Structure 1
Amino acid sequence: MLRCSRLTAMLLVFSCFTLSVGYADDVTAKRSAPAVEAIDQAMQAFVDSGDLSGAVTLVGHDRKIVHYGAVGHADLDSGKPMTRQTLFSIASMTKPITSTAVMMLVEEGKLDLDDEVSKFIPAFASVKLSNGESPQRQITLRDCLTHTSGLHGTQSFSDSLREAVDELSQRPLAFEPGSKWKYSPGLNVAARIVEIVSEQPFEAFLQKRIFDPLGMKNTTFYPESKQQRRIATQYRLSDERKLQAVEDNRITNLSSDPNWPRTQGPNPSGGLYSTARDLFAFYQMILNQGQFRGTRLLTKESIEQMTSPQTADLETGFTPGNCWGLGWCIIRDPQGVSEMLSPGTFGHGGAFGTQGWVDPKTKTISILMIQRTDLPNSDNSEMRAALHRSAAESIGIEPSR
């Protein structure tokens, strides 16, 4: 619920801008969105303390971008400033996009969430538990999207997606499918099924079916040379608590040669690069119940299924009070870092601190773009809490309980 007095005050502040606020359905309006000083100041504090090199934050409310700010530097050594156009490795924020691709094929009748994975990849029919016994049932596509498949281990790989998933079919399961929640490479399996059913590379499917319709021109597994120059450097804190650039440990390969061979497949669990503005378009489409700029990507029913609890009473996630949807983390009981959000808020974080959350009750989208590789728990970071808190206080948005 909006506090009218605070919202009125903010609108008076925004009226000082000569350009109008950017609407979610107008991708060309990226320069017209204001920067809310309190949110920038909250992020600048982390830059001043040496915890971040810089940050880009975006807050959307009621179909408008009400804050879009950039502070600090994208690269400390060169002094390159952080800008709204900076690209970030978004890591596991890739997963909801992968889930969206799956749901598109479900709507077309080409997939069913309860299809057994072995229907498309026969090697999974003989998968075993870690004790050598056969599981009571086979892994389903739904299991892969909810991290309840029993698959475990690293989500990264250095070969093609096909080879990576073939290797997964040889790993023993950590538990009976559906019996527990464990963060897993199941989205890689789901994406490989998208490739098989659609008969095209996964990155091509995303480009045609999601990125092009949403105008996400800076979202890719394979940044081109010009895009590479806009990628934020990744940092970790040294033993002396100084930010130290890390060698390229991103999930996708990069090269200054635009013709370099793409021997590594797209990583559907965490390989995308993107900008805050591109991600806002994707989240706004979800908040619009599948529609964006007059184009429908998914039905309302599919969106509701993706963003509704799918894991019953299983303990899930990296912060308390969560459950899992189809590729999305869902806040069932807001607390701690999520206390400023409403029950039913959904989103996903990334290993390097990036965060994206959609509160459907207050119609608010919050996006945090940073690159810290050594955060103990990026979903529970002080930076995420500061964004939620400063956005709620400065824009006048209260969670709906």
Structure 2
Amino acid sequence: MIQKINHFQNPENLSYKPVSVCRVFSSFCFCLLIWLSPMAQPTKIPPSPAPEVDAFLVSNQKLFGNDIVALAYKNGKLVYKKELEKEIGDFNGRIQVPAGIASQWLVAATVMAYVDEGKISLDDKVSRYIPIFAKYMKTYITIRNCLSFTTGIKADPPGPLRLLQKSKYPDLETEVDAFASKREIETNPGTEIYFSQIGPDIAARVLEVITKKTFDRIVQDKILRPCKMRATSFTNDNGVTSNAADGAITTANDFINFLAMLLNKGNFEGKKVLSEKAIAEMETIQFPKLPVKYMPKEAAGLKNGLGCWIENGNQVSSLNMTGFWPYIDRNLNYAAILVPRKTDEPKRELYVQFKQKMDAAFGGPSR
């Protein structure tokens, strides 16, 4: 009779298997430790490219309302990013904020896109597109007048009353028709500068008329989508544009893309958004010899281009009452934006100091 051998009862097998398993397991653990050892090292935080800017923002954080984002762009890339918040998750470059009068920069850029296409001219009369302007003795107001605060139409006084007045209108058509039919002409177009929301809203309405689209859709097509500004909009709670002059909501991350496009001669990620000629026109001082009847104190001493302010002939910006401050320095070839969540009236001195720190950090040709 052949005897069956049970390997599990064989002493040799019992002694051999545990040794083999232990060797394999030991080898596996050794390899695992080697693989994990670099991961166990503490992550090295790279040094800030602008420590003096960091220190300035931290020391003034409370004055900016605790929550603040600062970005800088140069040589085709984002070179600086600082996000400060009172509590984790409170604020960052992706959170929407009111753009304030920086909205007018977007309005002007959208107008210039149609100028590039030859569909309108800055010196076209508004009455050509909106006949009610001719009916009420406002025939000679041009699109250029609208973007340079020289329409001559009586504006609301600055302050809370102006904000209440804007809320009356459900859309741009109603608002602009009211400007034509219910507002007096205080002075001839192109004879004095008076800052208000009237002109930019009229310019935006002209685009609605010629395209038969809402202004939000127009600016999406021409500027926002090409610049990947996905979180920027001009729509109100009812889904329409009732205020183009300071009605945009945006993010710091979005708006730096817009500045990058302007800085890069109208190009964004290989796509042409605006011509160099259009951008040069936006950054040309309009009506430099006219008397200034009213400008916000934040813009005192600045000259107005189309939708933006010009300082010292080389800095283009939009310093405004909400604290939202984007700018381009053409001499130093960089763009930056400072966005506090707090919308109280800012102190201009803080912004001047911020730019001085940024100039020192990013003003060199190789930075």
User: Aligned partners of 2:45 and 2:212: how far apart in 1?
Assistant: 49
Unaligned stretches of 5+ residues in structure 1 = 1-15, 20-33, 129-134, 223-251, 254-260, 334-342
Counterpart of 2:332 (choices 346, 362, 378) is: 362
Q: 1:86 to 1:39 in 2, by over 3 A?
A: farther
Q: 1:118 aligns with which of 127, 130, 136?
A: 127
User: Contact conserved, 1:40 with 1:71, CA < 8 A, in 2?
Assistant: no
Q: In structure 1, which of residues 124, 146, 149 is the aligned counterpart of residue 148 of structure 2? A: 146
What is the rounded CA distance, in whole Å, between the counterparts of 1:381 and 1:324 in structure 2? 17
Partner residue, 1:213: 226
Residue 17 of structure 1: CA displacement? 6.3
TM-aligned CA deviation for residue 80 of structure 1: 4.3
Q: Is the 8 A contact 2:332 2:363 kept in 1?
A: no
1:60 aligns with 2:73: yes
Within 5 Å, give how 1:373-388 maps onto structure 2.
Answer: 373-375=343-345, 378=346, 381-388=348-355
Q: Secondary structure at the match of 2:244?
A: coil
Pick aligned residue for 2:104 from 90, 95, 117 = 95
Q: Does 2:22 correspond to 1:46? A: no
Q: Structure 1 residues 206 and 396 mapped into 2: Cα distance closer, same or farther (>3 Å)?
A: closer
Q: Tell me how far apart the structure 1 counterparts of residues 322 and 170 of structure 2 sit (CA, whole Å).
A: 22
Partner of 2:319: 349
* In the alignment, structure 1 residue 192 sits paired with structure 2 residue 201: no
CA shift for structure 1 position 320:
4.2
Q: 2:183 aligns with which of 124, 146, 171?
A: 171
**Contact 2:334/2:362 (8 A) holds in 1:** no
TM-score by length of 1: 0.70
Structure 2 unaligned residues grouped into runs of 5+ = 1-43, 157-161
Partner of 1:230: none
Match of 1:326 in 2: 306
Number of aligned residues: 307
Higher helix share: 2
Aligned match for 1:181, one of 193, 218, 241: 193
- Displacement, 1:366? 1.9
TM-score if structure 2 supplies the norm length? 0.77
* Gap change, CA 1:364 and 1:315, over 3 Å in 2: farther
Q: Mean alpha-carbon deviation: is it higher for 147-156 or for 295-304?
A: 147-156
CA distance in 2, matches of 1:52, 1:284: 27
- Equivalents in 2 of 1:126, 1:53: separation in Å? 51
- Secondary structure of residue in 1 paired with 2:71: strand
1:306 counterpart (279, 282, 287)? 282
8 A Cα contact 1:161 1:267, kept in partner: yes
Once residues 189 and 136 of structure 2 are traced to their aligned partners in structure 1, the CA distance between those partners, rounded to angstroms, is 11
Structure whose alpha-carbon radius of gyration is higher: 2
- Distance of aligned partners of 1:198 and 1:382 in 2 relative to their CA distance in 1, 3 Å threshold: same
Secondary structure (helix, strand or coil) at the match of 1:205 reads helix
Check whether the contact 1:92–1:350 (CA below 8 A) recurs between aligned residues: yes
Once residues 89 and 35 of structure 1 are traced to their aligned partners in structure 2, the CA distance between those partners, rounded to angstroms, is 28
Deviations 1:38-73 (A, max 9, x none): 22321222224x552311111222332221111123
Could you tell me how far 1:35 is from its partner in structure 2?
Answer: 6.5
- Does structure 2 retain, via aligned residues, the 8 Å contact 1:311–1:323? no
Aligned equivalents of 1:350, 1:367: Cα separation in 2: 12
Q: Secondary structure at the match of 2:335?
A: strand
Identity over aligned pairs, percent: 25
Task: Tell me which residue corresponds to 1:288.
Answer: 264
Counterpart amino acid of residue 354 in structure 2: L
Asked if the contact 1:203/1:266 (under 8 Å) is kept, the reply is no
SS at match of 1:346: strand
Spell out, residue by residue over 1:311-359, the C-alpha distance to the aligned partner (whole angstroms, 9 max, x if none): 222355543442221212111x3xxxxxxxxx32112133211111111
Asked if structure 2 preserves the Cα contact closer than 8 Å seen for 1:43 and 1:383, the reply is no
Tell me the alpha carbon deviations over residues 142-162 of structure 1, each in whole angstroms, 9 at most, x when there is no partner.
100111111322473441111
SS of the residue aligned with 2:213? coil
Among 148, 159, 170, which residue is 2:170 paired with? 159
Cα distance, 1:200 vs structure 2: 1.0
RMSD over aligned CA atoms reads: 2.4
Whether the 8 Å contact between 2:332 and 2:359 is mirrored in structure 1 is: no
Equivalences for 1:383-394 in 2 at 5 Å? 383-394=350-361
User: 2: CA distance between counterparts of 1:372 and 1:35?
Assistant: 26
Off by >3 Å, runs of 4+ in structure 1 = 16-19, 34-37, 315-321, 371-374, 394-398
For 1:178 and 1:123, locate their aligned partners in 2 and report how far apart those are by CA, in whole Å. 20
8 Å CA contact retained: 1:161, 1:188: yes
